Chain A
Amino acid sequence: MNDIALSLQGLYKSFGAKVAVADLRLDVRAGSMFGLVGPNGAGKTTTLSMATGLLRPDAGRAVVLGADVWADPAAAKALMGVLPDGVRLFDRLSGRELLRYVGLLRSVDPRLIDTRSGELLDALGLSEDADNLVVDYSAGMTKKIGLACALIHAPRLLLLDEPLEAVDPVSGETIRAILRSYVAGGGTVVLSSHVMELVENMCDTVAVIAQGRVLAAGTLDEIRAGESLQRRFVDLVGGKQLDEEALSWLRSS
Chain B
Amino acid sequence: MSDFAFPPGLLLILGAFVLPQLQGKARDVLTLALPLAVLAMVWSLPLGSHVTLDFLGYQLEPAQVTKTGRLFATVFSLMAFIGAIYAYKQARLLELCAAYVYAGSAICVTFAGDIISLFVFWELMAIGSTLVIWSAGTDAAYKASMRYLQVHLLGGVILFAGVVARVYATGSVEFTAMALSADFSGESLGNALILVGFLINAGAPPLSAWIADAYPEASPSGTVFLSAFTTKTAVYTLMVGFAGEQILIYIGVYMIFYGIIYALLENDMRRILAYSIVNQVGFMITAVGIGTELALNGAAAHAFAHIIYKALLLMSAGSVLYQTGVRKCSQLGGLFQTMPQTAITGMVGALAISAFPFTSGFVTKSLETSAAAYEGHVVVWFCMVAASAGVFLHAGIKFPWFVFFQKDSGLRPPEAPLNMRIALWVFAFLCVAIGIYPDPLYAILPYELDYEPYTADHLITQFQLLLFAGFAFFALLPLMRRTLTISLDFDWVYRKVLFGLGRWGSTKFWRIDQLLRVWILARIQSTMVFLSQFAPVGILSRSHPSSSMVLWTVAVLAIYLVFSFI
User: Do A and B originate from a single complex?
Assistant: no
- Residues of chain B having any CB pair with chain A under 8 Å: none
Binding site for B on A (CB under 8 A): none
